Amino acid sequence: MSRLFLGIESSCDDTAAAIVRRTEEGHGEILSNIVASQTTLHAAFGGVVPEIAARAHVEKLDVSVEQALSEAGVGFDDLDGIAVTSGPGLIGGVLSGVMFAKGLSAATGLPLIGVNHLAGHALTPRLTDGISYPYLMLLVSGGHCQFLIVKGAEDYKRLGGTIDDAPGEAFDKTARLLGLPQPGGPAVQAEALKGDAKAFRFPRPLLDRAGCDMSFSGLKTALLRTRDSVVSAKGGLTATDRADLCAGFQQAVSDVLVEKSRRAFAEYLALDPQTPVFAVAGGVSANTQIRTALQQLCTEEGLQFLAPPLALCTDNAAMIAWAGLERFSAGGLDDLSLSARPRWPLDTQSPALLGSGKKGAKA
Ligand code: KG4
Ligand code: ZN
| Residue range 129-172, pLDDT digits in tens | 999 999 999 999 888 899 999 999 999 999 999 999 999 999 99
Q: Could you tell me if 142 and 357 are in contact, meaning their C-beta atoms sit under 8 angstroms apart?
A: yes
Whole-angstrom distance, CA of residue 238 vs CA of residue 243: 9
Ligand 1 pocket mutation, candidates 165, 284, 294, criterion most atoms within 8 A of CB: 284
Pairing, β 304-306 against β 277-281: parallel
* Distance between Cα 46 and ligand 2 center (Å): 19
Structure confidence at residue 307 (pLDDT): 94
Structure confidence at residue 356 (pLDDT): 43
Angle between helical axes of 167-177 and 184-193 (0-180°, round to 10): 70
* Distance between Cα 322 and ligand 2 center (Å): 15
Mean pLDDT of 319-332: 96
Q: By mean pLDDT, which of 90-94, 219-223, 254-258 is the weakest?
A: 90-94
Structure confidence at residue 354 (pLDDT): 59
Average pLDDT, the chain: 93
Whole-angstrom distance, CA of residue 336 vs CA of residue 111: 10
Q: Which residues of 219-236 are buried (b: 16+ CB within 10 A; e: fewer)?
A: bbebbeebbeebeeeeee
Protein residues with C-beta less than 5 angstroms from the ion ligand 2: 315
Instruction: Output 12 or 103, whichever has higher pLDDT.
Output: 103
Q: Is 286 touching ligand 1 by the criterion CB < 6 Å?
A: yes
